[in-house]
Chains A and B, each alone.
Chain A
Amino acid sequence: MSAAEPVLADVPERGPGGRVPPSRWLSARLLRSELRLIAGRRRNQMGLLVLAAVPVLIAVAVRLSSPREGRGPDFLSSITSNGLFVPLAALGVELGLFLPLAIAMLAGDAVAGEANLGTLRYLLTVPVGRTRLLVTKYASLMIGALWGVAVVVLAGAIAGIALFGTGPMLTLSGTEISFGSAVWRVVLVSLYIAAGLAALGAVGLFISTLTEQPLAATVALMIFTILSWIADSVPQISWLHPWLLVDQWMAFGDLLRDPPFWDNIARGLWVDVAYAVVFGLLAWARFAGKDITS
Chain B
Amino acid sequence: MTQPLERVQTSASERDLAIATRGLTKRFGARAAVDGIDLVVPRGSVYGFLGPNGSGKTTTIRMLLGLVRPSAGTSSLLGQPIPKGAQAVLPRVGSLVEGPAFHPYLSGRANLRRLDAADLAADPRTSRQRIDAALDRVGLLATAGKRYRAYSLGMRQRLAIAAALLMPRELLVLDEPTNGLDPQGTREVRHLVASLASDGTTVFVSSHLLSEVEQMCTHLGVMSDGRLVTQGSTFEVRGGAAPTARVLTDQPTVAARILSELGLNGVEAVPGGVRGTPDGVAPEKIVAALVEGGVGVKEFTVTSPSLEDLFVSLTGEGFDVSG
Within 267-294 of A, Cβ neighbours of B (below 8 Å) are at 289, 291-293
Min CB distance, A293 to chain B, in Å?
Answer: 7
A73 interface hit (Cβ, 8 Å)? no
Does A2 have its Cβ within 8 Å of any Cβ on chain B?
yes
B69–A291 CB distance below 8 A: yes
Asked if A6 lies at the interface with its beta carbon under 8 angstroms from chain B, I say yes
In the complex the two chains form, is A293's CB within 8 Å of B68's CB? yes
Q: Which residues of A contact B158 (CB under 8 A)?
A: none
What is the interface residue range for chain A against chain B? 35 or more
The tally of residues in B whose CB lies under 8 Å from a CB in A reads 53
A4 near B123 with CB under 8 A, answer: no
How far does the Cβ of A117 sit from chain B's closest Cβ, in whole Å? 6
* Given A119-B102, A123-B118; A292-B62 close (CB under 8 Å): yes
**What is the predominant secondary structure among interface residues of chain A facing chain B?**
loop
A171 to B173, CA, bound (A): 65
A25's closest neighbor in chain B, by CB?
B120
Question: How far is A24 from B91 in the complex, measured between Cα atoms in Å?
Answer: 14
* Chain A residue contacts of B288, Cβ below 8 A: none
- Residue from the list A1, A7, A37, A41 in contact with B168, Cβ < 8 A: A7
Q: Does B87 contact A (CB under 8 A)?
A: yes
Q: Mark A246-279, 1 if CB is under 8 A from B, else 0.
A: 0000000000000000000000000000000000
- Contact residues of A between 11 and 52, Cβ < 8 Å to B: 11, 13-14, 17-20, 24-25, 27, 29-30, 32-33, 37, 40-42
* Interface presence of B169 (CB below 8 A): yes
Which of A126-134, A156-164, A206-214 has 4 or more CB atoms under 8 Å from chain B?
A126-134
Q: Is B101 an interface residue (CB 8 A)?
A: yes
Check: A8 CB closer than 8 A to any chain B CB.
yes
Which residues of A sit under 8 angstroms from B124, Cβ to Cβ? 27, 29
Instruction: Evaluate contact between B68 and A126: CB separation under 8 angstroms.
Output: no
Cα distance, A2 to B68, chains bound together (Å): 31
Cβ–Cβ < 8 Å partners of B43 in chain A: 1, 3-4
Q: Is the CB of B123 within 8 A of A129?
A: no
Residues of B within 8 A of A (CB): 16, 18, 42-45, 62, 65-69, 86-93, 95, 97-106, 113-115, 117-121, 123-124, 126, 163, 167-170, 199-202, 218, 233
10 A-B pairs with least C-beta separation: A118-B101, A18-B91, A127-B90, A4-B200, A4-B44, A33-B117, A29-B117, A292-B67, A18-B92, A20-B120
Q: List 18 additional A-B contacts (Cβ < 8 Å) besides A1-B43, A42-B105, A292-B67.
A: A1-B218, A3-B42, A4-B44, A11-B167, A13-B123, A20-B91, A24-B120, A40-B106, A117-B104, A118-B100, A119-B103, A121-B98, A121-B101, A122-B95, A122-B101, A126-B118, A291-B62, A292-B68
